[in-house]
């Protein structure tokens, strides 16, 4: 073969290799190895975390977990998944997203509640701590992520619910049966509390931290609380037993009404409930994809509802395994 033919043959082989690599790393989201930008759904049965590509809406992987998995959280850097279990030994499993391997099992003493507990999980904004809340034991457990050691146990009020972080990460807001506890995340101590007339079930906060939004599942409403005045400035009726809410684009609250099987959209600028959409059977958990502007809602009927938040309408539903219990999108 002459030199020119040799060169052309070599160029063709290199070009083919580049095409193959491009297909592997661009066409397959898991080929990157970090699993970021993917949707993770934990199922009590069949005891797995299913991994979805939010673009194709197809399952692209699965991770086996332990007995009775319930809630799930992802670290801010997309490095770890934390999966809570309703058991005593190995209550929280830490999964490295890149390898999809369980790297740690964290035991939390549950007292007499040894086979129960929802373990609401949340990483700190800097990823240095993992917070775990059990509504039955009524404790906040603080775990250091550098070595996964349990470093603090803080008593909470009756029936604490899933926590949220302030936009700057300095405060942790925890709804309970009669209001909101406010935790300083540097000291991990209760520094304030807000009382409401009802049963707080979920919370969200505006970007400027001037307004706190709280669902009251006893009176089927969303409360707007002025943080400076420490007073309710607006009450908005929603569906039956609202259990979760999310503030999107600092403009619209998406409220999951579990017992009326629908979702309310509240405009925080006009302070109005502008739309109610049927969305599955007993919906309670959701995750938001800020890139595609899609909201994913799981319900007990074993489906994931996909909503377009730009048009504020449901696009479709995709099948999930039975008993989806938690959902999160890795950043």
Query: Whole-structure pTM over 0.75, yes or no?
Result: yes
How many Cα atoms sit within 13 Å of 266 on the Cβ side?
A: 26
Report the Cα 35 to chain-centroid distance in Å.
16
Q: What is the pLDDT of residue 22?
A: 37
pLDDT for residue 299 is more than 80: yes
317 or 29: which carries more pLDDT confidence?
Answer: 317
Q: What mean pLDDT is reported for the chain?
A: 87
pLDDT band at residue 75 using 50, 70 and 90 as cut-offs: very high
Most distant CA pair in the chain: distance in Å?
A: 88
Q: Looking at 150-164, 244-258, 260-274, 286-300, which range is the least confident one? A: 150-164
Residue 54: CB atoms within 10 A of its CB come to: 18
Average pLDDT value for residue range 301-330: 93
SS3 category, 108: coil
Q: What is the pLDDT of residue 1?
A: 52
Q: What is the pLDDT of residue 68?
A: 84
Residue 33: CB atoms within 10 A of its CB come to: 11
pLDDT for residue 9 is more than 70: no
Separation CA 119–CA 313 (nearest Å): 32
Encode pLDDT of 76-92 as tens digits.
999 999 999 876 556 89
Encode pLDDT of 27-47 as tens digits.
343 433 467 799 999 998 889
Q: What is the pLDDT of residue 2?
A: 52
Average pLDDT value for residue range 161-182: 94
How many Cα atoms sit within 13 Å of 240 on the Cβ side?
A: 6
Encode pLDDT of 254-288 as tens digits.
999 999 999 999 999 999 999 999 999 999 999 99
Q: What is the pLDDT of residue 16?
A: 42
């Amino acid at each position: 073969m002459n030199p020119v033919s040799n060169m052309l043959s070599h160029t063709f082989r290199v070009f083919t290799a580049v095409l193959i690599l491009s297909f592997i790393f661009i066409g397959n989201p898991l080929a990157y190895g970090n699993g970021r930008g993917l949707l993770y759904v934990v199922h009590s049965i069949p005891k797995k975390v299913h991994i979805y590509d939010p673009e194709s809406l197809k399952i692209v992987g699965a991770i086996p977990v332990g007995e009775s998995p319930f809630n799930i959280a992802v670290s801010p850097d997309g490095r770890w998944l934390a999966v809570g279990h309703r058991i005593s030994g190995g209550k929280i499993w830490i999964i490295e997203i890149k390898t999809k391997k369980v790297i740690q099992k964290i035991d939390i003493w549950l007292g007499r509640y040894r086979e129960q507990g929802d373990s609401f999980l949340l990483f700190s904004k800097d990823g240095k701590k993992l917070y775990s809340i059990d509504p039955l034991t009524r404790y906040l457990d603080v775990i250091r992520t550098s070595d996964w050691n349990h470093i603090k146990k803080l008593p909470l009020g009756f029936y604490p619910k899933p926590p949220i972080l302030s936009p700057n990460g300095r405060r942790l807001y925890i709804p309970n049966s009669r209001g909101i506890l406010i935790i300083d995340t540097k000291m991990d101590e209760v520094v304030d509390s807000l009382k409401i007339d009802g049963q707080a079930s979920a919370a969200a906060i505006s970007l400027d931290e001037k307004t706190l939004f709280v669902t009251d599942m006893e009176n089927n409403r969303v409360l707007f609380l002025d943080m400076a005045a420490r007073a309710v400035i607006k009450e908005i009726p929603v569906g039956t037993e609202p259990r979760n809410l999310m503030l999107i684009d600092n403009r619209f609250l998406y409220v999951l009404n579990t017992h009326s099987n629908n979702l309310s959209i509240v405009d925080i600028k006009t302070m109005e409930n502008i739309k109610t959409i049927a969305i599955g059977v007993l919906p309670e958990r959701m995750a938001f994809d800020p890139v595609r502007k899609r909201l994913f809602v799981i319900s007990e009927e074993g489906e994931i509802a996909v909503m377009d938040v730009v048009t504020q309408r449901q696009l479709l539903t995709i099948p999930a395994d039975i008993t989806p219990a938690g959902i999160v999108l890795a950043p």
